[in-house]
Amino acid sequence: MESSEETSKNGKEGSKSHNRRRWRKDKGKASRILQSMDLRTMTQSLVTLAEDNMTFFSSQGPGETARRLSNVFAGVREQALGLEPALGSLLSVAHLFDLDPETPANGYRSLVHTARCCLAHLLHKSRYVASNRRSIFFRTSHNLAELEAYLAALTQLRALAYYAQRLLATNQPGGLFFEGDEGLTADFLREYVTLHKGCFYGRCLGFQFTPSIRPFLQTISIGLVSFGEHYKRNESGLGVTASSLFTSGRFAIDPELRGAEFERITQNLDVHFWKAFWNITEIEVLSSLANMASATVRVSRLISLPPEAFEMPLTSDSKLTVTISPPLAHTGPGPVLIRLISYDLREGQDSEELNSMVKSEGPRILELRPRPQQTSRSRSLVVHFHGGGFVAQTSKSHEPYLKSWAQELGAPIISIDYSLAPEAPFPRALEECFFAYCWAVKHCALLGSTGERICLAGDSAGGNLCFTVALRAAAYGVRVPDGIMAAYPATMLQSAASPSRLLSLMDPLLPLSVLSKCVSAYAGAETEEHPNSDEKALGMMGLVRRDTSLLLRDLRLGASSWLNSFLEFSGQKSQKTSAPTVESMRRSVSEAALAQPEGPVGTDSLKILTLKDLNLKSSSETSETPEMSLSVETLGPSTPSDVNFFLRPEDAREEAEAKEGLSAKDGSSRVSNAFPEGFHPRRTSQGATQMPLYSSPIVKNPFMSPLLAPDNMLKTLPPVHIVACALDPMLDDSVMFARRLRALGQPVTLRVVEDLPHGFLSLASLCRETRQAAELCVERIRLILTPPAAAAAAPPPL
């Protein structure tokens, strides 16, 4: 039956619409195979079909095409047989890393699922070839190219499975992040970054995601490589327009060329390229089109908060107050922009005081509708922090789904336009978000809310800011939000590997090199260009700006190190510097909020955790030894490292101990020997990606990596609701953070959506699956905004 169906399809090759329908149907068949077969049955079926096809094409004479088809099926057989035991071993222990039995999700499960998706596609394609190889309509070259592409992907997935086994053998029980010695970590990264990636960006692009999302990913990949071409011709991407994104037709018709160019771009272009590309959605034409498909709201205004200090009452004693200073880090005092979005015009939102702070966004459009009637203030308020890797996008990029939220929740929303890295690295964004949060709590009446219930919401980098703003509010002693909804948040910015991070090899939205560049930019340590990179992409003025920024960065880090050293040891040294001089200098978040020995709320001394401190089996108390949250080590100048995305910074003593321990180990423990004899993964043709990051220990700061926060800090968080993606390289961030909160007895929920990429909120209107995931986020926010008495009477959330 399947044979006749596929043959009839091949007799109608002339229609493009028919080809698209067949493509979707083929993907659906692969999905059904994935759901109906276990791993062993799938592997055995694939091996049997591969052997049958290999025998057939071997008997077709000495032709080049027949030889390649025979070889590709031989390769499929070899890789499937080698992969199945590795996946089986991972699957047998994957349940040990779940949050609970009702939430079966972690990086090991995701890697196995991705490999099974590839096996399912090859099984479907092998069946099709076996049924149609004698047909006159059999497209030999097309099927050969697709088989070779998926064989390459299967080979690389086998290598990732072996890497995951190495992580499993090295990590502590229940731990998802890498805790191996420095030498092993360096070997791990050196091997990982040399793997071929182009196969995942060509014909196989997005094979692991739901079929509805794949056409969008293909469009994005074509736009990316086209943008890369124009970026090289225009200084730092300036002058690139929306119409220039899809003008390189050869990338649309040649998947292999597109994959190779995609790999080259992700490995070689700097964070400024990604900043420019991700901000394409804010071009007037594209943003207008997105808003046309979103809900219509009465209020969407950009407001500029003046950089003026104000007082906030302490939660412990409302008669006492604490001063909330304007953001100071790096660039000095400056206004903070927020966007107010409200479905209805509510009391206070058109007040003279608020109107005086409205910032113009262009020519004013005449409103032809009658002036809307004001409604009463909402009891709720949502404070939103947008994603974008800390380097890109604004509230405008996220406005379409925020408008829908405002309509569904019946509450005003403010979205913070915090300053972006690398121009404004940590802690500038945190300072601005905290300042805006406190201003909103104090002036909620102007925003159309009584402020009875306040929810922090954010995605990706914005999820990170949700946690850190709440932690800082608790440290200051001011009101903490009633709950947090974080979508696919980044909670671990320290350089550490995990099984879900391995997915960055194939993720078109979060490649490994892009992740590292964003983290480096936010940490205040932009990556330097390689000698063999294409510096022409920046242009002459771009190079001047880059060199100038590097100089200013070094001066800033040096000054920061000196200042922190002075502040920490001033009590033991001669006091020759006057207090006004010290106070006039810009201070970081930890100095302002936590480093004071007698703060307004008596904050305990903090202990910065490393990965070895995260023992989930027991909730041990933190050390009583007082430590500054940001020591000289934390704010000291960064030092370059050739291989450091997974590398955890260590001091000389720990390094010596690691090397000593390594020398006592058997040689087979090295990552270079992790592969079985005879297996050789495919290496990149773009040259080894060195990614010379800066190992700034500042990423260990709990206000940058909340997963590393000590227990006494995490206990101050409000109820947390996390919505993560099963196929997201950041999945393990959510799982481990939820496990830490659960171990401390903190209220936390974790929902993991299947088959969707990182960033699904921005794709909410794309397909049914993204709409359902976005609705889940809204449901979690609604749960936070519901008063406790009403929530107790309501049915539990799904």
Cβ count near 264 (within 10 Å):
18
DSSP string, 350-377: T-HHHHTTEEP-SSPPP--SPPPPPBPP
CA gyration radius, the chain: 27
Q: In the structure encoding, which two tokens stand for residue 479, read together? A: 């009101």
CB 527 within 8 A of CB 271: yes
Could you give the count of Cα atoms lying within 13 Å of 406 in the half-sphere of its Cβ? 30
Tokens at residue 135, please? 């047909």
Contact 693, 495 (CB under 8 A): yes
d(CA 350, CA 230): 43
Burial class (CB in 10 A: 0-12, 13-18, 19+), 291: middle
Distance CA 791, CA 797 (A): 10
Name the maximum alpha-carbon separation found in the chain.
92
Q: Work out whether strand 483-487 and strand 693-694 pair parallel, antiparallel, or are unpaired.
A: unpaired
**Residue 266 C-alpha from the chain's centroid:** 15
Task: Return d(Cα 345, Cα 665) in angstroms, integer.
Answer: 68
Q: What burial letters (b/e) apply to 756-781, b meaning 16+ CB within 10 Å?
A: bbbbbbbbbebbebbeebbebbbbbb
Task: Please confirm, yes or no, whether 449 is among the known catalytic residues.
Answer: no
Q: Are 421 and 270 in contact (CB under 8 A)?
A: no
Catalytic residue among 221, 248, 449, 460: 460
Look at the chain and count its residues.
798
Contact criterion met (CB below 8 Å) for 514 and 508: no
Please provide the DSSP assignment of 584-642 as one string.
HS---HHHHHTS-TT-TT-PPPP----GGG--TTS-PPPP-S---SS-HHHHSPP-EES
Backbone phi, psi, residue 693, to 5°: -80, 170
Q: How many CB atoms lie within 10 A of CB 608?
A: 22
Burial of 484 (0-12, 13-18, 19+ CB in 10 A): buried
Q: What distances in angstroms separate CA 285 from CA 383, 427, 490, 763, 767, one per listed residue?
A: 27, 33, 31, 17, 22
Q: Which one is catalytic: 384, 415, 758, 762?
A: 758
Q: Which residue has the tokens 């046309």?
A: 292
Q: What token pair was written down for 542?
A: 């771009």
SS3 505: helix
CA-CA-CA-CA dihedral for 754, 757, 761, 763, to nearest 10: -110
The answer to whether residue 460 is catalytic is yes
Amino acid 700 reads K
The Cβ-side half-sphere exposure at 786, using a 13 Å CA radius, reads: 16
3-state DSSP assignment of residue 28: helix
Q: How far is CA 726 from CA 92, 241, 520, in A?
A: 18, 34, 25
Q: Which DSSP symbol is given to 497?
A: -
Spell out the SS3 assignment of 727-739.
Answer: CCCCHHHHHHHHH
Show the tokens assigned to 572: 């033991």
- Asked about 728 being catalytic, the answer comes back as yes
Phi-psi region of 237 (alpha: psi -120 to 50; beta: other; left: phi over 0): left
Catalytic residue selected from 728, 732, 733, 755:
728
Dist CA 340 CA 381 (whole Å): 11
Cα–Cα distance, 476 to 434 (Å, whole number):
10
Amino acid, res. 141 = S
As annotated, the active-site residues are: 460, 728, 758
